[in-house]
Structures are given as structure tokens and as C-alpha cells.
Amino acid sequence: MQRILIVEDSATMRSLLASTLEDLGSSVKITEASSGFEALRCLPREEYDLVVTDINMPDINGLELVSFVRSNEKYSAIPLVIVSTEGSERDREKGLGLGADAYLVKPFDPETLRQVARDLLERPGRGR
């Protein structure tokens, strides 16, 4: 079972991300968090194989979440994907510079997200 944590404050976008990633197959379990703070509560409860996060959220933003995950030894190997409306090269460089493995701009191509997720989930040494 591959566990994916989706962190997105928009219920509509969370649903779209979840349905896109559920298409990876029956061995995928999706957990949804509506904020960065909620994601911090989810991380210790389960061992995730991938985190997909938005940047713009009301409490802890996606960049802060990426920084936290990368700086915490317990979570630092979890692959991270940012999916955001922030599409400038500067935003992308900042997200990747903080440790995100991929950066997709909304609206995203569902097949591109699935392929990025597949690649990261199959990467040796990822996750747990």
C-alpha cells in the first residue's frame, strides 16, 4: 500500500488531486489535509510515501511544510510535490530549493501529476 498525503485548503482542488492520484491503482491510500497545520498532525500518525502540497494556505504554507519535512530526520526522505498557482520561475526555484522533488503549476495536467507521482514512488530510497 502506497500512502499519499494531499495538503490543500481548497476542497475542490483536494478532491481533484485525490481522484487524479487514485487512478494510480488500488494499492494507493489517500489522506487529505486542509491546511499545513493539519498536515503536521497527520505526519506522525502514518508513514507516507508521498506528500503533495499547495503553497498558499491560511496557516502553515506549503513552503514552510516542505522546509519542516526536509529538516525533520523522521520525514526527510518523503518525496514532496508542490502543486500551486504560483507559476513564476522564482516561485519554482524557491520550492525546489527548499527540497521539493517536483513543482507543478495549476491548472495541472492529470497525467503529468500521475507520472511524477509514479516516478517518485518508484524511486529507490524514498519514503520510509
pLDDT in tens, 22-52: 999 889 999 999 999 999 999 999 999 999 9
Q: How far is CA 104 from CA 25, 46, 74, in A?
A: 21, 25, 25
Q: Is the pLDDT of residue 128 over 60?
A: no
Q: Which residue has the cell 507543478?
A: 104
Gap between the Cα atoms of 128 and 125, Å rounded: 8
> How high does pLDDT run on average in the chain?
94
pLDDT band for 125, please (50, 70, 90 cuts): low
Is 2-122 a CATH 3.40.50.2300 domain?
A: yes
Gap between the Cα atoms of 128 and 121, Å rounded: 11
pLDDT at 25: 87
